Structure 1
Amino acid sequence: MTFSLVGRCARTGMLGAVVTTSSISVGSRCSHARAGIGAALTQHRTDPRLGPLALDLLAHGFSAPEAMQAVVAATPHRHWRQLALIDAAGRTAVYSGANVRAERGEAQGRDCAAIANIVRSASLPQAMVGAFEAQPEQPLARRLLDALAAGEEAGGEFQPVTSAALLVVDRESFPYVDLRADDHARPIAELARLWEKYEPEAHAYVIRAVDPEAAVPPPGLKLANA
């Protein structure tokens, strides 16, 4: 009952993940990303430990396929897990254990990989990949959101989704974007609305962290002290 995608922007090197499900707080459990390293998704009978483990392996020089193979081999309950991984070079890997419930699906594309379980169509991940690949000139966050919307349009879950999350990292140790919609009637649309509101200030928040004296509010915006 979850569909998601990891992606990379070839222009900027940004990495990120987007995910939605019919249970609450999907962003706290399923999506993981590390600047300059990669992004990971862990779902179905979710084990949040697997995302950081995969990113640690990437940080030690493993490619995404190598890291996925190692994570799966080291996971006792691998048959219940569904995973996706992308590294800083855009290489991807996916895994669906034998006990992951149908309809389930996986798809890998240029700088992206999508996975889904307990959805209306096994082709849903391919629809997400197609949407992500369609406009490479757009910001990574926008492309991730387009992919999520495409998954919903391709059939989505059997139950209404109630939470969604967007995570993007750039060059710093903290996220460039970390937005979540929880316990919401339309979480995918709400996540898109939050990004539209956050996008004009995203770069300014980074500048405030790394060079506070140079922080200037964008035209027409009053930057808060947060």
Structure 2
Amino acid sequence: MTFSIVARSADGRLHGVAVASKFLAAGALVPAAEAEVGAVATQAHVNLAYRQQGLALLRSGVAAPDVVAGLVAADPGRDDRQLGVVGATGVGATWTGPRCHPWAGGQAGDGWAAQGNILAGPHVVDAVRDAWLGGATLPFARRLLAALRAGDEAGGDRRGRQSAGLLVVERRGGYAGTGDELVDLRVDDHPDPTAELGRLLDIHTMLFDRPDPATLLDLAGPLAGEVAALLAAAGHPVAGAPAPVTAGHPVGAVAAPAGPVAVALDEALAAWAGWENLEERLVPERIDPLVLEHLRRSAVHLPAPRAGD
């Protein structure tokens, strides 16, 4: 019913699972991962116990091939199961029970394993493998998604499409550093779930990725004035800043904030960013170009001022 990839980043800091299926909410059943420990995918006739049992074995230092061997040996339903495991080091491992619906099979290599059942053919797993191996320059989550998309484009689940999921973990990589779930996205029921998963990942990247220090812009001079005017137009005026000088429209140029007003600019920007869920991209006295562009787009879509305003 499913094809998936479990994988580890080259530096061992990230682990993840990407999955797609003609099955409702496959992302709720198939994947499990633990930061700096490993990742597990259970599919075909899913055994949910594999997820925590597999991670527990990986946590204790058992290698991925031995985790797979141990789980299936202890399971009387193994002939109907499919399983992929990757650990903190070494090769990944995969199992396909002999009673899984054809085509069914998998492949594994250093830091990854790909598997699927009820597929259009073995070329689906080949496509997942090739996209993973060829995507080393991509960010980890996007590399997983590229592998999933390649399998989908190769025919994927031969019954059709319904759901997809993407799970990536990194130690303290979650929201505000308070958890390990770097990416946890699901498309439970959709005619093109892999494409929809990509759209969600784009939004996730915009909202939650940390800004690139090399691209940050100083909030000074004309840029500070523009940002202050845009914030005022968005309903978050900078305390102590002069009113916009462009007559008859809420967005215009203001004098560049300085001294205490510069602090107030940071505060107004933080208030607006919290409203827009962009707080993870804030840096004091600087602005992420992505945040600036979103602020500019927001101002363009503000209602036009009424006569007399």
Q: 1:1-226 residue pairs with structure 2 within 5 A?
A: 1-11=1-11, 13-172=13-172, 173-203=179-209, 217=282, 219=288, 220=291
Decide whether the 8 Å contact of 2:8 with 2:88 is kept in 1: yes
TM-score by length of 1: 0.89
Decide whether the 8 Å contact of 2:63 with 2:90 is kept in 1: no
Number of aligned residue pairs: give it: 213
Residue by residue over 1:93-120, the C-alpha shift from the partner in whole angstroms, topping out at 9 and shown as x without a partner, is 1001111110112111342110010011
Task: Measure the CA separation in 1 of the matches of 2:71 and 2:109.
Answer: 21
Decide whether the 8 Å contact of 1:110 with 1:133 is kept in 2: no
Task: Measure the CA separation in 2 of the matches of 1:138 and 1:216.
Answer: 21
Q: Percent identity?
A: 36
Task: Find the residue that maps to 1:43 and give its secondary structure.
Answer: strand
Higher relative contact order (CA 8 A, sep 6+): 1
Decide whether the 8 Å contact of 2:22 with 2:160 is kept in 1: yes
Decide whether the 8 Å contact of 1:5 with 1:128 is kept in 2: yes
Decide whether the 8 Å contact of 2:118 with 2:159 is kept in 1: no
Task: Find the residue that maps to 2:106 and give its secondary structure.
Answer: strand
Distance 1:100 1:215, change over 3 A: closer
| Structure with the largest fraction of helix | 2
Structure 1 residue 161: Cα displacement:
1.1
| Structure with the largest fraction of strand | 1
Q: Which runs of 5+ in 2 are unaligned?
A: 173-178, 211-278, 296-309
Q: Which amino acid aligns with 1:16?
A: G
Decide whether the 8 Å contact of 2:209 with 2:280 is kept in 1: no
Distance 1:105 1:21, change over 3 A: same
Residue by residue over 1:133-176, the C-alpha shift from the partner in whole angstroms, topping out at 9 and shown as x without a partner, is 11212111001100111101212122221100000001135311
Structure 1 residue 90: Cα displacement:
4.1
Residue by residue over 1:49-104, the C-alpha shift from the partner in whole angstroms, topping out at 9 and shown as x without a partner, is 11111110000110101111111111121111100000011421100111111011
Decide whether the 8 Å contact of 1:105 with 1:124 is kept in 2: no
Task: Measure the CA separation in 2 of the matches of 1:27 and 1:216.
Answer: 28
Decide whether the 8 Å contact of 1:16 with 1:167 is kept in 2: yes
Q: Which amino acid aligns with 1:197?
A: I
TM-score by length of 2: 0.66
Q: Give the aligned partner of residue 213 of structure 2.
A: none
Decide whether the 8 Å contact of 1:105 with 1:123 is kept in 2: no
Task: Find the residue that maps to 2:158 and give its secondary structure.
Answer: coil
Greater alpha carbon shift after TM alignment, 51-60 vs 170-179: 170-179
Task: Measure the CA separation in 2 of the matches of 1:55 and 1:39.
Answer: 7
Aligned residues: CA RMSD: 1.8
Structure 1 residue 215: Cα displacement:
5.6
Task: Measure the CA separation in 2 of the matches of 1:185 and 1:79.
Answer: 31
